[in-house]
Amino acid sequence: MADRLAPQLERLAGRIRSALKLLLFTDFDGTLVAIKDRPSECFLDPAVGQTLSALAGQDRIAVGIVSGRELEDLRTRVGVDGIAYAGNHGLEIDGPGFAFREPNSVSLIKELQGLENKLSRITAGFPGAWIEDKGLSASIHYRQVNPVDVPRLIDVVRNVAKPSLDAQKVVLRTGKMVLEIRPAVNWHKGKAVGWLAKKMSQLCSEPLLIYLGDDDTDEDVFAEWPREITVCVGENRNTLANYSVHDPNEVHAFLCWLLKHIVDSRNRSNLQCNWLVF
């Protein structure tokens, strides 16, 4: 079980201040913003964006958002310049001076599209279910499906996807009221964060990583970085993260606390941060 983050901040402060390079990466939905019934309703609060921008403006901090959303959709909803964006669970990445698309996933797009077409016809029989085409992956959302129908929907999706799953062309992952269909490649958020860490700390051999996330897919990051400052958002008692916070409001409070400890006071006066939320 992860320790609550707030009581540990005093202990972590020295480690953070002494780090030559800080790598701050976070998930989006459920971490920076509250999850909504429709993903299209989620946009970053301007105050949170201001805090991220201020953090990214510091010489020894690199900032990135790592999300299951499609890259361009993520960038539109965050709208912060000078940071890295990793979409589709890291299958596509764009940042200051670099870009990446996982090559094996690109080769499986046609397989994924064919499966999406089949699933679209099937899920039409479940009111509230819908498929989100994200280019390199797809999501079957069922937050608005009648709870009694959810087990049957999941079984149907697994059965339809079985030939592609058995052929090891796609994988099926669960999330918060969503099924994720991704190309079967050796890549996930944990590996994407590793790729970003190398790109964004080339002049520092031992950067300090901070990662915040709320979903099962973020556990891949927590597993890859067991000695770093990893934070689970929510009440997952089985998380591999070292620390936890309750919700996106506490995430912003932590980001403000972090900024307070690394930027000088004259630059803090205009920030819309509540240092006392924790």
E strand or H helix that includes residue 159: helix 150-166
Spell out the residues 6+ positions from residue 149 whose beta carbon is closer than 8 angstroms to its own. 126
Residue 80's CB is within 10 A of a number of other CB atoms, namely 19
How far is it, in rounded angstroms, from Cα 249 to Cα 256? 11
Two tokens, residue 131: 């498929």
Query: Which long-range contacts does 224-231 make (Cβ < 8 Å, 24+ apart)?
Result: 224/190, 224/191, 224/193, 224/194, 225/190, 225/193, 229/12, 229/15, 229/16, 231/2, 231/5
Strand ranges (E), the chain: 3-4, 22-26, 61-66, 84-87, 92-95, 98-101, 130-133, 138-141, 170-175, 178-183, 208-213, 229-233, 243-245
Please identify which of the residues 27, 29, 215, 220 carries the catalytic annotation: 27
Distance CA 162, CA 184 (A): 13
5 in Cβ contact with 245 (< 8 Å): yes
Q: How far apart are CA 250 and CA 232, in angstroms?
A: 11
Quick one: DSSP state of residue 216?
G
Q: Is 247 a residue of the active site?
A: no
Task: State the catalytic residues.
Answer: 27
